[in-house]
Every structure is written in structure tokens, then in C-alpha cells.
């Protein structure tokens, strides 16, 4: 033993750690006064370095442990698997619960030393059929796993997922059976995004469910409702009725349990609130002299305030997508908002770059990821390009290619709707808006794509009603949003 090394002391049980004297003796994890000593040995069994733990979790090193694996000398012959932990105490814990029958080693300096230590011992490690990483279940441990994956050929590396932070905590908390099971259940490492049938089995066996309801009963029947994680695009010409449609759907969501986040760039928050309060009360508060009273408006505002919260974005004339994106994240995380409306996407793209198409592609890609990340539902409005022939304001049919940035919108959207109305027709005809389903993702496409729903504007209530429906808000219990 080198002259600068400490006297080994003696191997004793460490009750606070759940470690037996037998375990400590096998690993020559010894105690000298108030010091715990992890003795590193070479292949001949000679102590060549020590990692010394003192009170207060202070460590010092005598000799050189860089690139070494603690306990390697115990396992001369290669076999089916070797288990690697972050620290010495964890290695002792795993060895103990496996009755010291399976090779276990530990990193010399925790997660930060993982890649260097494993690389230095690669020839030895590759003699085993499988290398099992049993690192701590924290950010540092996960990063260490990622750092080491490229060292090994495909199929060799397996990752252990523990019920608690580390093996010794499992031992202390009496979760020995769970720890052993986790060690045997260690899964082959796969890069993110690669799954097997076993990984999705539970999801496949979950019966499909009707989603959250649309305000229009026929649309709800045709699409099986709305589901979190989806993007919905609405396109319409100027003055065709998209603002009414959005406000009506928002009012419906608030009545059924909300809350709702609305980013509407073409009107002030006060205008939006006036419109939605009127739709809930079936009063046209936004139209002067249409038969409502000040007391009714106050009562409608009280009702709206006391219900699920409507969060509005006061953009002050600025429509920055990066800001809007973070506001959506904030509302989702801080206030549990899962229903969002953005009107309109074109305004966001116009602020991003000289090339509107490039900006739209970037925003759509981020929106597609965002709804999955937050597990929310989001509807956005898109302006339309001028069509050949009849204009949209004269009832021209809306197609997917009319959407500005149609390629990216069509790719990322789960549903796309067009609103069509001939504003220049006779009084009866110009009061009818056609809602056209332009796109729906399978399996709902077979039931909805290509269908149209005629909507009539009711001047007395300010609502769009289905041409064949008597009541837009049938009695029901609030949904659990």
C-alpha cells in the first residue's frame, strides 16, 4: 500500500445506510475513526487509491481514482451483465440485494465522471453481454446516460429506471423487491422517439372517446368533438363571420367549464368581452339601440366574471410570436388553461420577417410542438389569398391552397375549416354562412372532410345558428376541462 494511503481500519455494518458487515467486508469499504474509506484495488487486489468520506459528506481522494471503476477487481470473469452505479454506496447496495452474485461497479466521481470512466474501461465492459446503467434518477443522472450511449454498440446498453432517487435510498426505504425488479427490467437504450408495440399497448387498448363539444351540434357529430394536442385552422374572407364564430365558441367553452385564453389581434379586449357577454345572454350589446338595458349588461358582465376565467391578451398593437408563445405557456402552466384561440396567424407572421412564408412555416412548426408539449387545444384564424374568379366576400369557395402559408398550415393542422358567405346577395342569402370542412386527420376524416354546415345569423341574439337547429345551447352539465 502506498505511503500516502490511510490505514484501512475495519469493515463494519453501516445501519444508517442499510449495509451489512458482510457487504462492507467484501468490498473493503472500511471505517477508520470518523472516516469511511472506499478502497480502490488493482487487478492483483492491491489497494492503489482511496476515496475518503468524512462527516458532513466531505470527500477527499488519496492516490489516483480517475478512470477507475470501484469494485472492478471483484469480478474477474465476464458474464451476461454488469451493473454500473454513480457511487460506491450505491454499488454496495445493489450488490447486497443481489446477494453479491452479479458484477456491480461504480463510477469514481459521480455522474460527471461517467463517460471518461466508462471509456477507460471499455474493453472490459464490452466482454459482458449487457451493460446496465443504474444512475440516479435526476437531471445529472439522465445527462450522464446520454453522454455514455455512443460508447457502446446497439443493443448492449440497458437503462435502469428506479422507484426512488438511487439504489441506496431504495434499500433504506425497504423497497428491495422493487429495486431488484427494476434491475432485471432495465430496458435497452433507444434514442428519443423510437417506440415498440409494447410501449404503445396501453394507449391502443384505451377506447376512443368523444372529445370536447363544438358549439354547433352537427359539427360535433361529424368530428367526434375536439381533443387536446390538436391544432385547428379557420380561414375566411373579410367580414364573412369568423369573429362571430370564434366568439361564440369561446362563449360556449366558458359556459361549459373553461378557462379560455384568447389572443385576438383585430379587436380590443373590451370589444371581445362585450361580444361574448352578449352571446351568453343572447343580447347584442355591441349594437346600439338593439333593445338591451344597462342593467342587463352589468348582470351579464357579473356572470362572465364569476364563471371560468377568460384570459385576454392586450397586445397594445404589437403581435410578437415569441411573446405570444410564452404567454400561452404561462397560462397553461400557471392557470391550467387548455383551450386557446389566436386571431389571426397572419398578423404574427407579418411581425417576424420580410418573408411571410418562412415566418408562417416557423410559427406553425412551433405551434404543432407546443400543443403537444402542453397538451392543449388551439384554434387559429388565417387570412386568405385572393382567389381566381369569385372573391370570398362574394361567396367564393374556400380551399386549402387559399390559406396564406397553406403548405405548413395544411401539414400541421388537425382540422381546417373555411367560412363562405356572399355579402352581395339578396337579404336572405347573405344571412347564410357555409362552414366547410376542408381537412380532418384520420380516423375522423371519413366522417367530416368535404361536409358543409349552413349557418344562419340570428339578428335578435347575435348568434350563428344551424339552419336546421332550434337551440344552440342545449341543457347539459358542465364538462370537466
What angle is formed at CA 160 by the lines to CA 206 and CA 19, rounded to 5 degrees? 130
- pLDDT recorded at residue 202: 85
Distance CA 144, CA 156 (A): 17
Burial string for 327-360 (b: 16+ CB within 10 Å, else e) reads bbeebbeeeebbbbbbbbbbbbbeebeeeeeebb
Residues spanned by CATH 3.40.50.300 within the chain? Answer: 217-466
- pLDDT recorded at residue 239: 76
For the chain, report the end-to-end CA distance as a whole number of angstroms.
Answer: 68
- pLDDT recorded at residue 472: 38
> Which among 276, 310, 303, 253 is positioned nearest to 462, based on CA atoms?
276
Q: Which three cell numbers stand for residue 172?
A: 433504506
User: In what order do the strands lie in the sheet containing 187-188?
Assistant: 104-106, 81-85, 130-134, 157-159, 187-188
> Which among 441, 468, 473, 463 is positioned nearest to 452, based on CA atoms?
468
Q: Which whole-number Å values give the CA distances from 131 to 28, 85, 126, 299, in the listed order?
A: 24, 11, 8, 68
- pLDDT recorded at residue 371: 95
Q: Which whole-number Å values give the CA distances from 148 to 108, 115, 182, 391, in the listed order?
A: 15, 5, 20, 60
Determine the CATH number of domain 15-188: 3.40.1360.10
DSSP for 197-244 reads HHHHHHHHHSPP---BPPSSHHHHHHHT-B-TT-EEEEEE-TTSSHHH
Q: Which whole-number Å values give the CA distances from 433 to 237, 392, 429, in the listed order?
A: 11, 11, 9
Which sign, positive or negative, has the C-alpha torsion 362, 265, 247, 301? positive
Q: Which CATH class is domain 217-466?
A: alpha beta
Q: Which three cell numbers stand for residue 237?
A: 374572407
> Which among 346, 360, 353, 351 is positioned nearest to 323, based on CA atoms?
351
Spell out the residues 6+ positions from residue 123 whose beta carbon is closer than 8 angstroms to its own. none
- pLDDT recorded at residue 478: 41
- pLDDT recorded at residue 354: 63
Distance CA 315, CA 344 (A): 13
- pLDDT recorded at residue 350: 66
Task: Name residue 85's beta-bridge partners.
Answer: 106, 134
Say how many C-beta atoms besides its own lie within 10 A of residue 454's C-beta.
12
The per-residue pLDDT string of the chain (481 residues; one tens digit each, 9 = 90 and over) reads: 455 888 888 999 999 999 999 999 999 999 998 899 999 998 888 999 999 998 777 889 999 998 899 999 999 777 889 999 999 999 999 999 999 999 999 999 989 999 999 999 999 999 999 999 999 999 899 999 989 988 988 889 999 999 999 999 999 999 999 999 999 999 887 766 677 788 788 888 888 788 999 999 989 888 989 999 999 999 988 778 888 999 999 999 999 988 999 999 888 999 999 999 999 999 999 999 899 999 999 999 999 999 999 999 987 656 788 889 999 999 999 999 999 999 888 777 766 656 777 888 889 999 999 999 999 999 999 888 777 778 777 778 888 888 876 788 889 999 999 998 888 878 777 788 889 999 998 777 777 888 989 998 888 898 999 886 444 334 334 444 4
- pLDDT recorded at residue 393: 74
- pLDDT recorded at residue 192: 63
Q: Which residue has the cell 400561452?
A: 328
Residues spanned by CATH 3.40.1360.10 within the chain? Answer: 15-188
> Which among 382, 378, 377, 380 is positioned nearest to 405, based on CA atoms?
382
- pLDDT recorded at residue 234: 94
Distance CA 134, CA 165 (A): 10
- pLDDT recorded at residue 95: 96
Amino acid at each position: 500500500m502506498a505511503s500516502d494511503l490511510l490505514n484501512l481500519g475495519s469493515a463494519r455494518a453501516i445501519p444508517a445506510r442499510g449495509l451489512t458487515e458482510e457487504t462492507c467486508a467484501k468490498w473493503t469499504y472500511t471505517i477508520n475513526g470518523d472516516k469511511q474509506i472506499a478502497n480502490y484495488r488493482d487487478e492483483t487486489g492491491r489497494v492503489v487509491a482511496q476515496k475518503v468520506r468524512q462527516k458532513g459528506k466531505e470527500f477527499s481522494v488519496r492516490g489516483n481514482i480517475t478512470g477507475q471503476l470501484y469494485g472492478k477487481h471483484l469480478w474477474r470473469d465476464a458474464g451476461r451483465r454488469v451493473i454500473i452505479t454513480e457511487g460506491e454506496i450505491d454499488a454496495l447496495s445493489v450488490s447486497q440485494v443481489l446477494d453479491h452474485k452479479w458484477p456491480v461497479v461504480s463510477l469514481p466521481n459521480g455522474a460527471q465522471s461517467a463517460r471518461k470512466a466508462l471509456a477507460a474501461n471499455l474493453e472490459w465492459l464490452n466482454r459482458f453481454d449487457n451493460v446496465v446503467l443504474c444512475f440516479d434518477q435526476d437531471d445529472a443522472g439522465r445527462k450522464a446516460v446520454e453522454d455514455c450511449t455512443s460508447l457502446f454498440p446497439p443493443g448492449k446498453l440497458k437503462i435502469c429506471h428506479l422507484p426512488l432517487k438511487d439504489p441506496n435510498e431504495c434499500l433504506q426505504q425497504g423497497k428491495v423487491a422493487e429495486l431488484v425488479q427494476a434491475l432485471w427490467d432495465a430496458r435497452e437504450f433507444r434514442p428519443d422517439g423510437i417506440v415498440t408495440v409494447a410501449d404503445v399497448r396501453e394507449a391502443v387498448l384505451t377506447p376512443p372517446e368523444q372529445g370536447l363539444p363544438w358549439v354547433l351540434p352537427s359539427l360535433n357529430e361529424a368530428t367526434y368533438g375536439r381533443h387536446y394536442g390538436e391544432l385547428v385552422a379557420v380561414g375566411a374572407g373579410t367580414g364573412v363571420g369568423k369573429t362571430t364564430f370564434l366568439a361564440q365558441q369561446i362563449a360556449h367553452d366558458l359556459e361549459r367549464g373553461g378557462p379560455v385564453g384568447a389572443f385576438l389581434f383585430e379587436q380590443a379586449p373590451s370589444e371581445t368581452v362585450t361580444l361574448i357577454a352578449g352571446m351568453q345572454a343572447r343580447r347584442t350589446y355591441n349594437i346600439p339601440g338593439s333593445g338591451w338595458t344597462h342593467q342587463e349588461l352589468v348582470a351579464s358582465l357579473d356572470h362572465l366574471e364569476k364563471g371560468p376565467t377568460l384570459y385576454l391578451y392586450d397586445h397594445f398593437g404589437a403581435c410578437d410570436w415569441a411573446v405570444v408563445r410564452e404567454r400561452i405557456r404561462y397560462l397553461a402552466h400557471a392557470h391550467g388553461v387548455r383551450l386557446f384561440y389566436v386571431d389571426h396567424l397572419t398578423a404574427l407572421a407579418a411581425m417576424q420577417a420580410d418573408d411571410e412564408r418562412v415566418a408562417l412555416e416557423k410559427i406553425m412548426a412551433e405551434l404543432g410542438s407546443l400543443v403537444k408539449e402542453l397538451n392543449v387545444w388551439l384554434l387559429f384564424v388565417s387570412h386568405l389569398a385572393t382567389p381566381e374568379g369569385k372573391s370570398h366576400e362574394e361567396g367564393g369557395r374556400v380551399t386549402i391552397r387559399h390559406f396564406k402559408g397553406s403548405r405548413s398550415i395544411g401539414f400541421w393542422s388537425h382540422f381546417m375549416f373555411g367560412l363562405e358567405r356572399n355579402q352581395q346577395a339578396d337579404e336572405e342569402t347573405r344571412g347564410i354562412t357555409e362552414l366547410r370542412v376542408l381537412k380532418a386527420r384520420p380516423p375522423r376524416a371519413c366522417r367530416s372532410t368535404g361536409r358543409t354546415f349552413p349557418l344562419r345569423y340570428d339578428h335578435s341574439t347575435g348568434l350563428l345558428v344551424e339552419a336546421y337547429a332550434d337551440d344552440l345551447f342545449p341543457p347539459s352539465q358542465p364538462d370537466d376541462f
